Structure 1
Amino acid sequence: MVSFGSTLVVLSALVGLSIAQTNPQPTKLPSRVLESTSLVTCQENSGFQASKFHVIFNPESGKINVDLIATSSIEGNAVFDVQVSAYGYPIQSLVVNPCDVGFRGLCPMVSGRFGDNPFSVDVPTDALGKIPGIAYTFPDLDAKVRILVNMTSGDRNGQTVACLDARISNGKTVDLIGVKWASAVVAFLALISSAVISGQGYTNAASHVAANAVALFGYFQAQAMAGLCGMPLPPIVQAWTQDFQWSLGLVKLTFMQDIFTWYQRSTGGEASRLLDTLRSVSVAVQKKRRSLELPEPAAKVMTRAAAMMPRAAENAARSISKRANVATASGSYVVYGIQRAGFQAKIESTNIFMTALIMFCVIMALTMIAVVAWKGICELLFKNSNKFNDFRNGWRVVLKGYPLIAVFCLWELTQNDSPAEMVLAVAFFLLITASLVWATWTVMRIAKRSVALFKNPAYTLFSDLTTLNKWGFLYIQYRASAYYFTLPLMVYTFVKACFIAFGQKSGVAQAVGLLLIEAGALITNSVLRPWMDKSTNLFNIAISFFNFLNAVFLLIFTSVFDQPPLMTGVIGILFWILNAAFTLVLLLMIIITTGVLLFKNNPDSRYQFMADDRTSFMKSGTNLNTYNELDALGAAARGGEKPKTGSGLDLDDEYEPTQSDRLHPSTHSPSEGGRPSMDARANQHHGLLEHEESGVGHDHSAHNASPAGPGVPKTSS
């Protein structure tokens, strides 16, 4: 595909200072271009190494512009064995003798330093036609040129003294700002639409829209996590997963990056300046190799202290190498995993944690401000209309962002960018985790109490408006009997974050762990089907299947099966096509469904009511609140004590129903805003029963006619 052009690109770099003509690289790339920005060694003790490498081939001008800084320790005659491949498929192999083509300075090769002066090479006209047009248009071209320098004279005759790899790109990519904005706006508008629909009183439709929007956002985060893995990823996979890094908080704001760098330095850390040195160093975007030397700061520490304290010097070097950029002996750098995602987002590796953390805090703050402002508007509307009554009473947005916190806080423990950042990582992780665990445990206790009293977890979870408003975000997307499913979801997220954060140096272990996690999640979701109805279950199970499929692809990318490179290239394209198509389908489903609901007279009619009868319980809770206000007026007129409103549920009360209670559950009829009113015997044991108004619990006929709402069992006369 790019055989001749790619060969010329790398061979021109090896000419070095032997070309006298100078032509600086253009500031704006043309529409048709082949480019390489890194030249990495592919064997130990390579005799030719480049710390800076930038080559651009422009077919319109017929020139190759080269900017190179390299060192060579090769002396004598040598030939270049050039191997060109695209997506792992070998396209062309040829042997080039620099003496035959007249490359001065390479016949014979001499040791020394090349560089500092950019130059250009003219390309023969007949060679331009040999490059197919698709090489300039296909996004994230996965083409590579490998050059083996083989000696033909001297003591090392016949030996390979240098191995060089150069990745070729055409400037086209699927890492597009439009994809980022489209995915973010659709997810955000879906959540806003669910709020509006809920505010109009259509809780059933609002729950479905919100559940699908949250599932879509989770799928975005899953794709972003795939891009954070440490195994080598094909260029198109790197670019596609980069489109969703915003969902994990990797969003660059220049002024914030300056603040993070200052904060790190002022708290005892050493900030990396890799992005500032791109004009003088080369950066290879790939997985870290075992053959790479220690980073330059670590090497300096060992050199200075090895004579006096060899063991201490080694420990110090290791501690520095954990958080420094990986540097080769030639002065170039290698980024992989989370550092790779940060580098492609133009974020310094030592600022990645703070960027994600602050973006989480900013989004939380903006969400709280938006909710407060919207609730204020609804308060004004409520004075003249009952249209937003349900929203005014119950809507609360809780955005936890647990995957973001789990991944980057745990990863920061391996980086140690500064002592203050380590403290922030531990504090935020423990605080968010503890908050979610406590909230989940509270919901489970409420549900168990509801089962004990009413034989149905849905009753208290949905009729008690205080419980629904405070904890509903944890369980409203599930059916009532699966109220506990937030806990398995948290365990899934935590274990997955551990493999991503702590497995950066072992791509195989990372891929195997993620494969087992996603397989377990797919089986669990398919068997339990915990979501509210069939359509929502299918929506989430489909997402789980694609997450599992992506985990299989990640395992293939590790080359653990020793598959041919062509298979890896094809799997990379397949990863992009399948995920892009599925993402488009999900976005269209959300857009169409939300649009239909917004213009429908009764959005709830589009969905069947859930089997747990939650809608009836919600309406019952609303009616009970109105009933309590009338009770309060009656009590005030009689000079009595105002009854309590809201949730009267006391989780510290360990009341267990007796056999008589189980046979006659009517003694626990709901009153006082969803609080179960105990009979006289329960009141004597627990002291929880307030003075019962209007004869509730004393007159069976009055109890049967009370507006307690559906779901409350009636007693016989």
Structure 2
Amino acid sequence: MQNFIWALLGLAMVPQALASDVLSTDGFDLCMTDSAINVQKMDVTYTRSTGVVVFDLAGTNAMEQNVSATITVTAYGSQLYSKEFDPCGDDIHVAELCPVPKGSFKATGSMDVPSAYASQIPGIAFTMPDLDGQAKLVLKSKQSQSNLACIQSELTNGHTTNVAAVKYVSAGIAAGALALSGVSAIGSAGTVGSPSSSPGFGDVMGWFHSMATNGMLSVAYPSVYRSFSSNFMWSTGMIPWPGLMKSIDQFRAATGGNLTDESYEFLLNSSTTQSSSSSTNTTKRSWEYTIQFGEMVARSVDTSTDASVSNSSSTESTSTSKITDLKQVAEELMVPSADVFMTILVIFAIVIAVVVVGILLMKVILELWALYGNFPNKLSDFRKDYWGMMARTITNMILVLYSIWVLYCVYQLRKGDSWAAKLLAAITLSLFTALLLFFAIRIVYMARKYKKAEGDTSRLYEDKETWKKYSLFYDNYKKDFWWIFIPVIMYALVKGCIIAGGEGHGLFQSAGQLACEVLLLGLLVWSRPYATKASLGINIAVQVIRVLSIACVLVFVEELGMSQTTKTVTGIVLIVVQSTLTAVLAILIAVNAFISCYRENPHAKRRREAEKANRDIDDLTPLDARDSLLMEHPQRKQYAEMSNFNFTGPYQTYRDEPKRAGSPGNTERDRLVNNDYGVAHARSSSPDSRHSRSSLEGRRPAAPGYGMAY
């Protein structure tokens, strides 16, 4: 079973050339209060190639005393090693601790690890990123058998899933999606009814936001997944920028903020690490040192030559909970939690400024092109709509970032300490919500107006001005499901409120977010609203992965009491699934880029064919071949009040339907077309005969398939 677990953990292994055979400590923590021996420094490193443990230990002691030590090593919740030894003994002899001197003491040295014990360290421990291992050392007095000190430390091999290259690659994927969306927008300028390519920039950023927020909940993440999710925090605007952080701290200090333990300088000095909060009053720096000491002891235990050591124990043991929240996530990135909202606000303002400058620069270039060169006709509509494009771009950015913006604003209102920052959060959240609400109300009004006047809402897609103004909200949806963007906006609002409002309550956050994801998935599966099969497949697949991801996050909730091994395996499965979907999105973006370069826009093609077919309607004559019943005509809309032979539609003011008085014996032919239809000379005894014309002069034929809405 243990080998199977290590095999599963190997799925997340990231090959690296450096530090491939070293295990070392990463900080320390004191796990008891009022300890007689106070450890102040501990560094331990084990090198597999040499089989040597090097340690450096320092601390203070109230009185000289002989001690015994008990070392316990666990990995992924399983106890791998347990050993009790005497520093004065032969197995592990440490002269500096035999006995522990009064006052300050320091112990440095190295020990050889026997091959019998070195071989029992799984090879995956040296390559598994974010190794979830822990060592615990308890010192006891030989005289009283009472505990004198308790130190626990975490092990690391130098590998992590928090890789800078992943951040750059993911940013490149988002940039590629943005470029493709821009090219598609320029190519379809002046063309209505054409859906945007999928996956687009909004799809990609929405997926990155999901992976980032999956790592912000107040649950006990395995370290491997916690590090992985931090690769995508940049997409939420949480970007460390020392100069900006210091400026924000000054702004907070001037508006009621407390910089004692919420500032960039404090983070630099404290060297915060992601771990459980210590039960002692020692500093975080001391806490890191203590973890390292526990690791040293763990290494010393591995060097033990006692054949009676039970190092194969696989019994599950409870590990220290490491509850993560938004505060710890931000501080890991060297962003004070009180600065989070102001950071994203400033970065958003910078992005808006870049967009405005970029569009204005494009305006200058195109105007010079039109003045001194041959300007292509397909860019003429784009050239005339700079300001509209700027407004739509900013609105689209707000739509994409809305869920994250709600999250940070609510968090600032709950946890912030600066009245000015809280005021800005309230104002921006109100403005963004009001803007989206305005567009939603406006689009609903237009849809109802079109439906009342014409019987359906097709004008949302067919009217050029309407499409240009509002299509960014519904361009990917079918005509009957234009309204889907409204529940999507509500989903973003509720999701952000749940994550930020439920800070500190992981079960509420996970369950609430799972409910949101399931409801949205049900809506998409029921309605299938996307205009293309590609968009439908991609968005439903992404939503399914979102549901599975948040369901897996439930495993990390402390209230459910899952073992550490189960949490780690679940985290690795999450990494594999989410990485696979990210790679698929990147491939699809590349495929769409290739297609957009070599294939004509099908929507523009259909529109051009329709315009060509309707161009010469007025030239039809009664004997024109296009008026023949044998000719195939474009597909017509079906209305409940018309039969297959009565083509009256909302765009035709009349159609000749002379009524004939049927004889009692020929009722079965009453609805058939008479032989003299269209050429009668007002000689019928029908009551309607007085309304008929005496000749064909001045009459216009009705083309059976043209001029109708289809």
- In structure 2, distance between residues paired with 1:178 and 1:424: 34
Going from structure 1 to structure 2, the CA distance change for 1:703 and 1:261 (only over 3 Å counts) comes to farther
- In structure 2, distance between residues paired with 1:97 and 1:388: 83
> Which position in structure 2 is the counterpart of 1:330?
none
- More divergent stretch after superposition (126-135 vs 470-479): 126-135
Q: Which string of whole-angstrom CA distances, capped at 9 and with x for unpartnered residues, describes residues 609-644 of structure 1? A: 6xxxx98679989999x9xxxxxxxxxxxxxxxxxx
1:666 to 633, 643, 651: 651
- In structure 1, distance between residues paired with 2:199 and 2:326: 29
Asked if structure 2 preserves the Cα contact closer than 8 Å seen for 1:87 and 1:143, the reply is yes
> Which position in structure 2 is the counterpart of 1:604?
601
> Which position in structure 2 is the counterpart of 1:349?
337
- More divergent stretch after superposition (132-141 vs 485-494): 132-141
> Which position in structure 1 is the counterpart of 2:380?
389
2:172 to 166, 185, 189: 185
Asked if structure 2 preserves the Cα contact closer than 8 Å seen for 1:237 and 1:576, the reply is yes
Structure 2 letter corresponding to 1:134: I
- In structure 2, distance between residues paired with 1:49 and 1:73: 9
Q: Which string of whole-angstrom CA distances, capped at 9 and with x for unpartnered residues, describes residues 89-120 of structure 1? A: 322222233342444565566787x68x8x74
Asked if 1:427 is matched to 2:427, the reply is: yes
Going from structure 1 to structure 2, the CA distance change for 1:67 and 1:381 (only over 3 Å counts) comes to farther
Structure 1 letter corresponding to 2:174: A
User: How far off is 1:555 after superposition?
Assistant: 0.9
What does 1:196-595 align with in structure 2 at a 5 Å threshold?
196-201=183-188, 207-209=195-197, 211-271=199-259, 272=261, 276=265, 281=270, 283-286=272-275, 336-379=324-367, 384-392=375-383, 395=389, 396-397=392-393, 398-400=396-398, 401-458=401-458, 460-595=459-594
> Which position in structure 2 is the counterpart of 1:93?
82
Going from structure 1 to structure 2, the CA distance change for 1:67 and 1:82 (only over 3 Å counts) comes to closer
What does 1:559-708 align with in structure 2 at a 5 Å threshold?
559-598=558-597, 600=598, 602-605=599-602, 665-666=650-651
Q: Determine helix, strand or coil for the equivalent of 2:377.
A: coil
Structure 2 letter corresponding to 1:524: L
Asked if structure 1 preserves the Cα contact closer than 8 Å seen for 2:267 and 2:331, the reply is no
Going from structure 1 to structure 2, the CA distance change for 1:442 and 1:85 (only over 3 Å counts) comes to same
Structure 1 letter corresponding to 2:565: L
Q: Which protein shows a greater Rg?
A: 2
Going from structure 1 to structure 2, the CA distance change for 1:467 and 1:280 (only over 3 Å counts) comes to closer
Structure 2 letter corresponding to 1:444: V
Q: Which string of whole-angstrom CA distances, capped at 9 and with x for unpartnered residues, describes residues 244-281 of structure 1? A: 11110011223222222222222221234676567875
Q: Determine helix, strand or coil for the equivalent of 2:559.
A: coil
- In structure 1, distance between residues paired with 2:590 and 2:239: 25
User: How far off is 1:572 after superposition?
Assistant: 1.6
Q: Determine helix, strand or coil for the equivalent of 1:94.
A: strand
Asked if 1:147 is matched to 2:146, the reply is: no
Asked if structure 1 preserves the Cα contact closer than 8 Å seen for 2:25 and 2:45, the reply is yes
Which protein has greater RCO, CA pairs closer than 8 Å, 6+ apart? 2
User: How far off is 1:576 after superposition?
Assistant: 1.2
Structure 1 letter corresponding to 2:376: S
- In structure 2, distance between residues paired with 1:412 and 1:664: 56
Asked if structure 2 preserves the Cα contact closer than 8 Å seen for 1:79 and 1:96, the reply is yes
- In structure 1, distance between residues paired with 2:653 and 2:283: 70
Going from structure 1 to structure 2, the CA distance change for 1:493 and 1:46 (only over 3 Å counts) comes to farther
Q: Determine helix, strand or coil for the equivalent of 2:161.
A: coil
> Which position in structure 2 is the counterpart of 1:84?
73
Q: Determine helix, strand or coil for the equivalent of 2:451.
A: helix
- In structure 2, distance between residues paired with 1:176 and 1:144: 23
- In structure 2, distance between residues paired with 1:668 and 1:177: 66
- In structure 1, distance between residues paired with 2:208 and 2:193: 23
- In structure 1, distance between residues paired with 2:193 and 2:100: 74
Structure 2 letter corresponding to 1:665: P
User: How far off is 1:224 after superposition?
Assistant: 0.4
Going from structure 1 to structure 2, the CA distance change for 1:711 and 1:405 (only over 3 Å counts) comes to farther
2:151 to 137, 143, 164: 164
- In structure 1, distance between residues paired with 2:324 and 2:402: 23
- In structure 2, distance between residues paired with 1:622 and 1:250: 52
Q: Determine helix, strand or coil for the equivalent of 1:166.
A: strand
Going from structure 1 to structure 2, the CA distance change for 1:540 and 1:210 (only over 3 Å counts) comes to closer
Q: Determine helix, strand or coil for the equivalent of 2:219.
A: coil
Asked if structure 2 preserves the Cα contact closer than 8 Å seen for 1:37 and 1:282, the reply is no
Asked if structure 2 preserves the Cα contact closer than 8 Å seen for 1:285 and 1:335, the reply is no
- More divergent stretch after superposition (553-562 vs 368-377): 368-377
User: How many residue pairs get matched?
Assistant: 565
Structure 1 letter corresponding to 2:132: D
User: How far off is 1:124 after superposition?
Assistant: 0.9
User: How far off is 1:359 after superposition?
Assistant: 1.4
User: How far off is 1:490 after superposition?
Assistant: 1.8
User: How far off is 1:562 after superposition?
Assistant: 2.6
Going from structure 1 to structure 2, the CA distance change for 1:72 and 1:668 (only over 3 Å counts) comes to farther
- In structure 1, distance between residues paired with 2:549 and 2:155: 25
Structure 1 letter corresponding to 2:651: S
- In structure 2, distance between residues paired with 1:447 and 1:349: 44
Q: Which string of whole-angstrom CA distances, capped at 9 and with x for unpartnered residues, describes residues 303-353 of structure 1? A: xxxxxxxxxxxxxxxxxxxxxxxxxxxxxxx98321222223222333222
Structure 1 letter corresponding to 2:502: G
> Which position in structure 1 is the counterpart of 2:54?
64
- In structure 1, distance between residues paired with 2:456 and 2:184: 27
User: How far off is 1:361 after superposition?
Assistant: 1.8
Q: Determine helix, strand or coil for the equivalent of 2:562.
A: coil
Going from structure 1 to structure 2, the CA distance change for 1:30 and 1:140 (only over 3 Å counts) comes to closer
- In structure 1, distance between residues paired with 2:165 and 2:194: 28
- In structure 1, distance between residues paired with 2:180 and 2:345: 27
- In structure 1, distance between residues paired with 2:193 and 2:56: 60
- In structure 2, distance between residues paired with 1:205 and 1:712: 14
Asked if structure 2 preserves the Cα contact closer than 8 Å seen for 1:74 and 1:161, the reply is no
Q: Determine helix, strand or coil for the equivalent of 1:413.
A: helix
Q: Determine helix, strand or coil for the equivalent of 2:358.
A: helix
User: How far off is 1:211 after superposition?
Assistant: 5.0
- In structure 2, distance between residues paired with 1:122 and 1:531: 65
Q: Percent identity?
A: 23
- In structure 1, distance between residues paired with 2:165 and 2:178: 20
Structure 2 letter corresponding to 1:175: N
